[in-house]
Chains A and B, each alone.
Chain A
């Protein structure tokens, strides 16, 4: 699945993460501690989950910019399930189930409405934001019970359960991509949808399933959000769609589809979170963090263009 340049990108990203870690550790004594490493990972949970769904969508040539609002709606449902004293197992399933439904809605609009994914999901983003507003009615959910927090922070042999769940999600995606026909079909659609249809692939089914899977992952991110922050405000998830797209592109899955790198997405999210945490720890004002991540994205993309030109020029 990872072609040659994809593996190269993974190595570059891994090297960038390591370099950033060394640099920040050198400049700030607070960075290289076990506690801070745990914080960086913990801050990445929701973005990893949402970026996984986004990776699948983008490999297929689609995108979903409503992911932040889907996380918002599912976080509210999870919070209310928690307040209603439902069994914890049920509370944890409410989010992913509702997320899958919302993802399926987005897929249906894109597939049957024949509307480009970015337009359809932008419209749904507005609708879901309004839903959040109506459900919250202007009041915040805040000071929620810590039941889910204990689940996510519970450690098995030193590894937090939250990290295990994220790893499981990526593992499951990897198995589906590599061991079933889902992977090749997904990439075929991303490469050329019409040709995939002519070849007799179940294009509609694959597209709907991918939107639903992405929605379910957003729902799981909503559960994590409640576990970690224990409050929901109106603005929940306002920035996370762009962060996810940035992480996926950094990771080497192109925005027009046809290629996929799960390892790249894992590293892309990690690099974003390391930068956000490290820059603050070495005293760079938080206002500059978005500039740094934006510049990083532009740098990677233009380096890619230059390299490709050099390669085709040589051939």
Chain B
């Protein structure tokens, strides 16, 4: 499903965030990308999500080599992923429901179908009662759950998260972990970059550990 071969990302100035990394993630797996700060976890997530382009090597997702992809094809590849960030990247000028509607509008769903699906996603993360609330009025844990609802509403094949529990208290982090485990149980591939060890204890994922950009 996600196959990396000799993947390298070098930034202008020569800094290599990811060096010669190879791995193979099968469909339905839960994979944790671990490592200390600056190990290259976030860069690897960005490479998988096509937010960054590899300097060399290949990265094949669902049979498509992302390194050789035309720029215009990238948005369609991103739609296979549900992306979740540490800072959630929510839009604070609209309601929780409208935040979740955005991927469906991009996909071109009719308003009625989109609202139905967005409400189902909000229900799944326990936020249906707060669909009209502005994200600013939500707690950190709720904001992260809202970000998850936005990530899963388009029924992605891969959930890709970067430090999704970093800023959360223990209880909220556990809720998020459970949500990821739930989605993984129904066949969604989950790739999480985190240094939170509770993931290993609770979800027993496969672990890719990075150190200074290299897989160890």
Q: Do A and B truly interact?
A: no
Chain A residues in the interface with B (C-beta under 8 A): none
